[in-house]
Amino acid sequence: MPTQPIPAPGSHAISIRNLKKSFGSNEVLKDISLEIEPGEVVCIIGPSGSGKSTLLRCVNLLEVPTSGTVLVGPDEVTHPDADLDRIRRRIGMVFQSFNLFPHLTVLENLTVAQIKVLKRRKEDAIATARLNLHRVGMSSKEDAYPGQLSGGQQQRVAIARSLSMEPQLMLFDEPTSALDPELVGEVLAVMKSLANEGMTMVIVTHEMAFAREVADRVVFMDGGYIVEQGPAQEVIGNPREERTQSFLHRVL
């Protein structure tokens, strides 16, 4: 695989250079280089086990890369002296499982980290929480507990919770994969509106129709490499690489 050119520092929302990650002798990411621009929406597709989750997790250092560098804005996440708490606060992450606190109400789920981590006053945290519940169409459920909500509603609350921390970018790891099919659309609609508001988003997804509609760029990964990337109409609509073609043949 050719190594991509190295850009000037500080000009990208995310800049990943020559990233490698091994678990023991299993090299899962093999020389990944990728730049994401501010406001860009990038969908990452590829078969199970290709390293998509590991790549996202290396961006906020939930996994420590074996080698290579990751910058978020001008800050090098992989620098030994990096202030990880500060960097991580600027990155929202939404997972397949919603991970809401079951014993807290929806509103409390959205305020707790604002108060504890960002040291916001309670009334400011509540105001921010309500704004973001409105964004995801969940204002009427602020006093509900997660167990009283559908999966789609819980995921929308999880997105609102992330947004309440006012991140500069959002990472989504298969946010609709755990949902019943009839609930997928409401979560994708929220993500689409976020994209339209200009949020920088990296989304691992199997929702090809969503990727075609919303992504500025689609990245196809296989075997720890970026095999192909470009506009959705090219990568999904008219893929060049045989591996992309056979993957799409299986999922479409």
111's contact among Mg ion, ligand ADP, none, with CB below 5 to 8 A by partner kind, is none
Is residue 176 within the footprint of ligand ADP (CB under 6 A)? no
How many chain residues interact with ligand ADP (CB under 6 A)?
A: 10
Is residue 239 within the footprint of ligand ADP (CB under 6 A)? no
Is residue 244 within the footprint of ligand ADP (CB under 6 A)? no
Residue closer to ligand ADP by CB (options 27, 75) is 27
SS (H, E, C) the chain: CCCCCCCCCCCCCEEEEEEEEEECCEEEEEEEEEEECCCCEEEEECCCCCCHHHHHHHHCCCCCCCEEEEEECCEECCCCCCCHHHHHHCEEEECCCCCCCCCCCHHHHHHHHHHHCCCCCHHHHHHHHHHHHHHCCCHHHCCCCHHHCCHHHHHHHHHHHHHHCCCCEEEEECCCCCCCHHHHHHHHHHHHHHHHCCCEEEEECCCHHHHHHHCCEEEEEECCEEEEEECHHHHCCCCCCHHHHHHHHHHC
Q: Are 228 and 235 in contact (CB under 8 A)?
A: yes
Is residue 53 within the footprint of Mg ion (CB under 5 A)? yes
Is residue 51 within the footprint of ligand ADP (CB under 6 A)? yes
Is residue 176 within the footprint of Mg ion (CB under 5 A)? no
Contacts of 248 (CB under 8 A, 6+ apart): 208, 236, 239
Residue closer to ligand ADP by CB (options 48, 140) is 48
Q: Which of residues 195-214 bind ligand ADP (CB under 6 A)?
A: none
Q: How far is the CB of 32 from ligand ADP (least distance, A)?
A: 11
Residue from 53, 153, 162, 176 that binds ligand ADP (CB under 6 A)?
Answer: 53
Q: How far is the CB of 201 from ligand ADP (least distance, A)?
A: 17
Q: How far is the CB of 62 from ligand ADP (least distance, A)?
A: 10
Q: How far is the CB of 85 from ligand ADP (least distance, A)?
A: 22
Residue from 1, 9, 23, 237 that binds ligand ADP (CB under 6 A)?
Answer: 23
Residue closer to ligand ADP by CB (options 12, 52) is 52
Residues that bind Mg ion (CB under 5 A): 52-53
